[in-house]
Amino acid sequence: MIGYLARRLATGAFVFVAVTALCFLLLYVRGGEAIARSLLGSQSDAGPEFVAAKAEALGLNRPIPEQYVDWFIGVITGDLGRSFVSNVEVTAIMATRIPITLSLVAVSLLLTVILSVALGVGAATRGGLVDRVLQLLAVAVRAIPGYWLALVLVLVFALGLRLFPATGYVPITTSFGGWLASIFLPSIAIAIGNVASVGTQLRGAMLDVLRQDYVRTLRSRGISERAIVFRHALRNAAAPAFTVLSLEVIGTLGGAVIVERIFALPGLGNLALTSGVLGDIPVVLGVVVFMVVVVVVVNVLVDIINGLLTPKARVG
């Protein structure tokens, strides 16, 4: 198991270096003077000398590999640099945004797991209405854009029924009820798409497991159907669903950009979009670092869980 974990961690480290290097190259490939000129905007005194001075002040006149090495060493030591726009440390800017995005991701994933298990297991064992609902959800999610669904949730439950706030965020330290109300609709908007994928995968895996010989043997011994489903079949069927769930984390982080914009949540997605428009590259890279770390950690955890659930995965 230790060797299995070491291989996964090494793969995660390689992915982190590769993704950050590619993003750094794409953001800085325009050259220092072009970046400095875009930051200066339409200032009347932004002549060639002024642009060159701005590029030198920000360290943009150095070779890109040298800039990347310095930036990467800073990342390892916890220094993500300073904002090109506000000159505030990127870590300080992100510190107020991370709890909001983590709340959105955590609640949406929790809803995904609960609803996926309920619908996937119900569809596999009972069929009927539950199975039709899951299949309809899977088709509808592929046909309906996520942003449209988020807008419908706002119109119906926030503006129409007034059950939840339409926009804004309440910190959990201020009010747990206010925090849950502000994060619930955005989490539902993200979770619905995840449930369609994870629930469908779990349903198929459960159907395959329930047809196995050992399940018939358990039934012949008089073990209750509930114990067979939740103690034996669900464990063996969970590995493929966990793999799909890890992929959905990437979609959840990507969907957070749109959802945070619609619900006016001051999270990392909103920050990345605003910083990208302003050309604030260090902030954008800071968000990239955080998201890559989350994706790598989640994938490693899912691999470990799969290894515990199915020992054959460790051998593979």
List the domain range (segments joined by +) for residue 33.
2-86
Is the pLDDT score of 145 beyond 80? no
Asked whether residue 143 is assigned to any structural domain, the reply reads yes
105 in the same domain as 77: no
262 in the same domain as 214: yes
Question: Per-residue DSSP letters for 187-209?
Answer: HHHHHHHHHHHHHHHHHHHHHHH
102 in the same domain as 233: yes
Asked whether residue 216 is assigned to any structural domain, the reply reads yes
118 in the same domain as 66: no
Is the pLDDT score of 44 beyond 50? no
Phi, psi of 151 (to 5 degrees): -65, -40
Asked whether residue 92 is assigned to any structural domain, the reply reads no
Asked whether residue 277 is assigned to any structural domain, the reply reads no
Pick from 55, 86, 117: which residue ends a domain?
86
Is the pLDDT score of 245 beyond 70? yes
pLDDT in tens, 49-85: 788 888 888 888 889 999 999 999 999 998 999 999 8
Is the pLDDT score of 284 beyond 90? yes
Asked whether residue 304 is assigned to any structural domain, the reply reads no
129 in the same domain as 39: no
In this prediction the pTM is 0.81
54 in the same domain as 106: no
CATH number at residue 213: 1.10.3720.10
77 in the same domain as 201: no
9 in the same domain as 151: no
Task: Count how many Cα atoms sit within 13 Å of the Cα of residue 118 in the half-sphere of its side chain.
Answer: 9
CA torsion sign for 193, 198, 199, 204 is: positive
Task: Kindly tell me the burial class for residue 119, based on how many C-beta atoms sit within 10 Å of its own C-beta (0-12, 13-18, 19 or more).
Answer: buried
67 in the same domain as 21: yes
174 in the same domain as 115: yes
Asked whether residue 16 is assigned to any structural domain, the reply reads yes
Question: Per-residue DSSP letters for the chain?
Answer: -HHHHHHHHHHHHHHHHHHHHHHHHHHHTT-HHHHHHHHHTT-TT--HHHHHHHHHHTTTTS-HHHHHHHHHHHHHTT---B-TTT--BHHHHHHTTHHHHHHHHHHHHHHHHHHHHHHHHHHHHT-HHHHHHHHHHHHHHHHS-HHHHHHHHIIIIIIIS--S-SS----TTT-HHHHHHHHHHHHHHHHHHHHHHHHHHHHHHHHHHHTSHHHHHHHHTT--HHHIIIIIIHHHHHHHHHHHHHHHHHHHHHHHHHHHHHTT--SHHHHHHHHHHHT-HHHHHHHHHHHHHHHHHHHHHHHHHHHHH-HHHHH-
Is the pLDDT score of 10 beyond 80? yes
Mean pLDDT confidence for 94-121: 90
pLDDT of 309 reads 64
Share of the chain above pLDDT 70, in %: 95
72 in the same domain as 145: no
189 in the same domain as 134: yes
Q: How many domains does the chain have?
A: 2
pLDDT of 125 reads 87
pLDDT of 42 reads 54
Pick from 86, 118, 138: which residue ends a domain?
86
